[in-house]
């Protein structure tokens, strides 16, 4: 593992206007520092958290995916964030992990926010995605997933020589989390970092959406012991921070709490039909 140069974009989103959002985001990414390994955008960055996928969802050959490929190539970094995806007659809140060479990983949001009717419009995902960059293992999740710690919990293993191996090093949440529940957002992000002994990155939007719901941002980068390394106030901000692998390793060696964790198994990542 080498140091990981990570950039997060906290921004307002124009309601249900993918063309304008892509243009505004790309303009902000002009300030992206050279050498950035990974850039993180909010949940549904092209539309806001809309329940209108019949009009706005795109296929994997659509404009938003092609835009992500182009930007990742131009900036020579991995680009991640979620959008409305369509496959056949199903819709997904899908996070993409787009490499500069055009390769794509994907994660479909597992926990759909029934309180806002998300479960009535989208199909839940059934598999976790742990990607890698620069020697780091990155676990990718979306917004409401934050409230369900089992889905994020480290499934650490021992190799045949008895060496201990945590499953991942960074846990990322992209979100449209409302201001009215911002304390839960900030508290749960720190909890996920402490219990999994990993860096946690939470990237939220700002501004008022089409339902009149305000978002205060509060994007955060948190250390493996729960210290807040960066907190974005309620403003547009592109922030870059370098994650230190030495600090991560020393924390896990000095405080080997994961070795004492209860053994468990998710019997199936597949949801029932």
Give the residue numbers marked as catalytic.
Answer: 43, 109, 143
How many degrees, rounded to 5, is the angle at CA 227 between CA 48 and CA 136?
Answer: 70
Nearest to 74 by CA among 46, 34, 14, 109: 34
For residues 157 and 43, what is the distance between their CA atoms, to the nearest angstrom?
31
Nearest to 139 by CA among 52, 80, 90: 80
Q: Exposed, middle or buried, 114 (CB in 10 Å: 0-12/13-18/19+)?
A: exposed
Beta-strand relationship, 38-40 and 4-10: parallel
Which helix (H) or strand (E) is 237 found in, with range? strand 237-243
Question: Which residue has 């995806």 as its token pair?
Answer: 85
Q: What are phi and psi of 22, to 5 degrees?
A: -60, -40
Joined together, the tokens standing for residue 241 give: 């921070």
Joined together, the tokens standing for residue 32 give: 């992206």
Joined together, the tokens standing for residue 108 give: 């479909």
HEC per residue, 154-188: CCCEECCCCCEECCCCEEEEECCCCHHHHHHHHHH
* Helix then strand then coil, % of the chain, to nearest 5: 30, 30, 40
């Amino acid at each position: 593992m080498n140091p990981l140069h990570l950039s997060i974009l906290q921004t307002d989103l124009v309601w249900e206007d993918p063309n304008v959002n892509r243009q505004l985001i790309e303009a902000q990414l002009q300030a992206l520092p050279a050498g950035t390994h990974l850039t993180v955008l909010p949940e549904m960055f092209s539309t806001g958290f809309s329940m209108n996928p019949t009009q706005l969802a795109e296929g994997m050959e659509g404009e938003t995916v092609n835009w992500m490929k182009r930007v990742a190539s131009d900036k020579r970094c991995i680009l991640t964030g979620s959008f409305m995806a369509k496959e056949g007659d199903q819709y997904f809140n899908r996070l993409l992990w787009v490499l500069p060479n055009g390769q794509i990983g994907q994660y479909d949001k597992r926990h759909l926010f029934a309180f806002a009717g998300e479960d009535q419009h989208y199909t839940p995902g059934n598999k976790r995605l742990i990607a890698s960059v620069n020697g780091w293992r990155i676990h990718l999740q979306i917004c409401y997933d934050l409230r369900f710690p089992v889905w994020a919990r480290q499934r650490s293993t021992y190799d045949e020589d008895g060496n201990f191996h945590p499953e991942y090093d960074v846990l990322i949440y992209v979100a449209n989390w409302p201001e009215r529940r911002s304390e839960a957002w900030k508290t749960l992000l720190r909890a996920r970092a402490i219990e999994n002994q990993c860096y946690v990155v939470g990237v939220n939007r700002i501004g008022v959406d089409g339902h009149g719901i305000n978002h205060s941002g509060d994007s955060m980068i948190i250390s493996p012991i729960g210290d807040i390394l960066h907190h974005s106030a309620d403003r547009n901000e592109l922030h870059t921070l370098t994650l230190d692998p030495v600090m991560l390793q020393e924390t896990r060696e000095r405080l080997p709490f994961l070795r004492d964790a209860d053994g468990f198994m998710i019997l199936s990542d597949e949801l029932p039909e």
